[in-house]
């Protein structure tokens, strides 16, 4: 009888896409799949290492899984993803863990799992610069009308605080034809919105027989392939965000008018220490170009405080930039050292914890105010909304997203999940728009 797999995914959208790739790989080797953890023979945790609290979730989860192993002696537990790559030995020392596999080792998972029947602890964290998982159609594990496609793997930027180049390896792009085949596959399983993923999607490049395909060309080809579906992408690095890409978004109605553009800091001094390879002025020029070419474009960002050497003046420059840009939303954090990075080895973690917390709270307070202002400005406007499901608060309400990636809730009437509807905005909070179908 074949083993049955249960997968839990932590972290970013790229990990969601990776879990669907893993499921395709193991099912091709006759492993089963279950959504019930208590019915599994093998439990796989797909992990993230970007921040310390992401790893703490896994250690806490392993404490729970230890209890399941006591009840089921044959149960196997595996850790895959960035955390497995970063601290494979430490994980294998944990009594609960039977195998670990890095992001380039997923094709070998069936063999690793079977090997645990013979060897107590198995591991594969070899980097493979040629691995892009081309030829594998990920298997969707839920009924979401959205799908994710990884177009690049790894990263060459080496921001001083970031562990990604050390856990996912150097950057490489997938074959354009393989990506478009996957686009067609997701369309066939009724995906109404597809997101192209990469640590830096802007640097995508594929040398075809006829001509090189860069990211603006790839997303244009994607838009032509599925004209009735929405297309999103993430993440863009500011240093590589080109006018060409901005114009392609403006020229294609089904490419969403939303750009996530991580800034991280508003201080040139801190940006240099972070090795971000752009200045505050460059970033603001990109924002101004976006607003000029795509006036209704939604803008979001990543930003954090408390990095090495950050003074109150540096922090105020970050707040000033946030005020100037007026992001619709932001992922905000306080700095935590990631072992193995340049910053961990060479830059002191010299901002006191209480100062980090204070600055983070002030940053969140400011962004909440800006988000509320932006959302209230949408009252009276009408947006196309893709319905994603029922509201958490009421079965009489549905929710969906605008092209600008804003959440809208509204009474359901005679529409259902996966439909596009026109919604007029009647009210707003800092996080949500409310409206009526017209």
The β-bridge relationship of strands 42-47 and 76-81 is: parallel
Of 256, 271, 292, which one is at a domain's C-terminal end?
Answer: 256
- Give the SS3 label for residue 116: coil
Query: Which domain CATH number covers 217?
Result: 3.30.750.210
Query: Which domain CATH number covers 119?
Result: 3.40.50.12160
Of 124, 157, 176, which one is at a domain's C-terminal end?
Answer: 124
Query: How many Å apart are CA 408 and CA 119, to the nearest integer?
Result: 52
pLDDT at 1: 52
Q: Do residues 83 and 172 share a domain?
A: no
DSSP string, 330-365: EEEEE----TTSHHHHHS---S-HHHHHHHHHHHHH
DSSP string, 59-80: HHHHHHHHHHHHH-TT-EEEEE
Per-position pLDDT tens, the chain of length 438: 589 999 999 988 899 999 999 999 999 999 999 999 999 999 999 999 888 888 999 999 999 999 999 999 899 999 999 999 999 999 999 999 999 999 999 999 999 999 999 988 999 999 988 898 888 888 876 667 899 999 999 999 999 999 999 999 999 999 999 999 999 999 998 899 999 999 999 999 998 768 899 999 999 999 999 999 999 999 999 999 999 999 999 999 999 999 999 999 999 999 999 999 999 999 999 999 999 999 999 999 999 999 999 999 999 999 999 999 999 999 999 999 998 999 999 999 999 999 999 999 999 999 999 999 999 999 999 999 999 999 988 888 999 999 999 999 999 888 999 999 999 999 999 999 999 999
- Give the SS3 label for residue 208: coil
Of 78, 97, 124, which one is at a domain's C-terminal end?
Answer: 124
Q: Do residues 120 and 186 share a domain?
A: no
For residue 162, what are the CA distances in angstroms to 249, 275, 337, 381? 29, 10, 9, 40
Question: Within a domain: residue 220?
Answer: yes
Tokens of 352: 């006191």
- Give the SS3 label for residue 27: helix
Q: Do residues 69 and 181 share a domain?
A: no
What range does the domain containing 234 cover?
143-256
Query: How many Å apart are CA 262 and CA 327, to the nearest integer?
Result: 11
Burial of 284 (0-12, 13-18, 19+ CB in 10 A): middle
Q: Which of 58, 94, 96, 51 is nearest to 77 (CA)?
A: 96
Q: Do residues 56 and 17 share a domain?
A: yes
Q: Do residues 250 and 156 share a domain?
A: yes
Whether the CB-CB separation of 422 and 391 falls below 8 Å is answered with no
Domain count, the chain: 3
pTM of the model: 0.92
Query: How many Å apart are CA 154 and CA 85, to the nearest integer?
Result: 13
Q: Do residues 151 and 114 share a domain?
A: no
For residue 260, what are the CA distances in angstroms to 118, 275, 292? 47, 19, 17
pLDDT at 111: 95
């Amino acid at each position: 009888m074949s083993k049955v797999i249960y997968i839990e995914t932590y972290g970013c959208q790229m990990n969601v896409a990776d879990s669907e790739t893993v499921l395709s790989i193991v099912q091709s080797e006759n492993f089963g799949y279950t959504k019930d953890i208590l019915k599994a023979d093998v439990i796989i945790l797909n992990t993230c290492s970007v921040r310390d609290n992401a790893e703490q979730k896994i250690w806490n989860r392993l404490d729970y899984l230890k209890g399941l192993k006591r009840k089921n002696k044959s149960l196997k537990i595996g850790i895959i993803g960035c955390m497995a790559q970063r601290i494979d030995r430490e994980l294998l020392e944990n009594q609960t863990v039977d195998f670990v596999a890095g992001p380039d080792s997923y094709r070998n998972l069936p063999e690793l799992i079977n090997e645990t029947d013979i060897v107590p602890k198995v591991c594969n964290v070899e980097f493979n610069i040629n691995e892009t998982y081309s030829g594998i159609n990920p298997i969707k594990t839920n009924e979401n009308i959205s799908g994710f496609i990884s177009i690049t793997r790894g990263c060459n930027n080496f921001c001083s605080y970031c562990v990604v180049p050390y856990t996912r390896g150097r950057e490489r792009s997938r074959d354009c034809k393989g990506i478009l085949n996957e686009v067609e596959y997701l369309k066939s399983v009724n995906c109404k919105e597809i997101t192209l993923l990469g640590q830096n999607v802007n640097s995508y490049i594929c040398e075809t027989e006829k001509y090189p395909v860069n990211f603006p060309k790839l997303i244009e080809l994607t838009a032509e392939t599925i004209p009735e579906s929405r297309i999103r992408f993430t993440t863009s690095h500011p240093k590589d965000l080109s006018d060409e890409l901005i114009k392609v978004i403006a020229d294609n109605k089904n490419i969403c008018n939303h750009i996530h553009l991580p800034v991280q800091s508003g201080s040139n001094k801190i940006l240099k220490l972070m090795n971000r390879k752009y200045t505050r002025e460059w970033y603001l020029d990109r924002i101004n170009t976006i607003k000029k070419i795509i006036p209704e474009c939604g803008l979001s960002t990543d930003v954090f405080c408390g990095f090495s050497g950050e003074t109150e003046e540096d922090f105020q420059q970050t707040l000033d930039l946030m005020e100037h840009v007026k992001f619709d939303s932001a992922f905000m954090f306080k700095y935590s050292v990631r072992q193995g990075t340049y910053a961990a080895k060479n830059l002191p973690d010299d901002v006191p914890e209480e100062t980090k917390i204070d600055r983070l709270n002030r940053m969140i307070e400011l962004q909440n105010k800006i988000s509320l202002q932006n959302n209230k400005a949408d009252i009276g406007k009408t947006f196309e909304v893709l319905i994603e499901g029922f509201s958490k608060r009421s079965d009489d309400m549905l929710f969906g997203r605008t092209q600008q990636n804003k959440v809208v809730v509204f009474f359901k009437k005679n529409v259902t999940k996966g439909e596009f509807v026109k919604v007029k905005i009647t009210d707003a909070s800092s996080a949500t728009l409310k409206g009526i179908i017209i």
